[in-house]
Amino acid sequence: MNIQKRRIYYIEKKFQTKYILLTIFLLLTYTFAFIIIIFSPYILTLSLDFYSLSEKAEAARTLLLLHSKVWPGIGGIILLFGALSIFITHKIAGPLYRLKKSLSMIVEGNLDVKVKLRKGDDLKDLAEHFNMLAEELRTFVNTVRVDYDLLSEYILELEREIDAKMLTEESGRALIHKVEANRKNIEAVLEKFKIQR
């Protein structure tokens, strides 16, 4: 599988939208909590009547100072993290997209698949395991294919000998031994896979 340089950062739209929304949700929740914690003492001082005018004025001045300083920072942070979440999710979405495509190819029967991830991509371990699985499947199919070819050859040989009426007990037994060897090969490969019957 060729590695193409990914220029689009919005690959897995559904997946990335979900995590961008989650990031924005968390950022808004944190901002909401942060604002309540920061502003509430001054708002309380302003609201309660038992504070003197000078105390209220001091709280009001601090509140106005925070109001002018805090919001541009918070707005900047939300924008920055919103944009960053696209890049961060892209590091996961990219490999996931490749793995999904490769799995679809395997499902369709194409085993010549190898997932190669870009530098800095996440899920490299998963990609390695996927490549191991693909390699195992290739080995399995190759073994079965070689044994299938040999078995086909033995069947032809058997047919030829029967047609030529040359089949002796000795040659028959030799063919049975060869078939038995192939059967054992296939059995050994099949033993690796466990399925409920």
Where does this chain bind another protein (CB under 8 A)? 14-15, 17-18, 21-22, 24-25, 28-29, 32, 35, 39, 42-43, 46-47, 53-54, 56-57, 59-61, 63-64, 67, 104, 107-109
Residue number with CB closer to another protein (111 or 167): 111
- Comparing CB distances to another protein, the nearer of 29 and 171 is 29
* Neighbour tally for 93: CB within 10 Å: 24
> At closest approach, how far in Å is the CB of 2 from another protein?
22
Q: Which two tokens stand for residue 30?
A: 């944190």
Distance CA(115)–CA(20), nearest Å, equals 26
Distance CA 115, CA 123 (A): 11
- Cβ closest to another protein, residue 43 vs residue 77: 43
d(CA 39, CA 70): 10
Q: Which amino acid is at 91?
A: K
Angle (nearest 5°) at CA 7 between 125 and 120 = 30
| Residue 165 C-beta: closest distance to another protein, Å | 43
CB closer to another protein, 53 vs 164: 53
Nearest to 55 by CA among 66, 65, 43, 46: 46
Residue (108 or 163) nearer to another protein, CB: 108
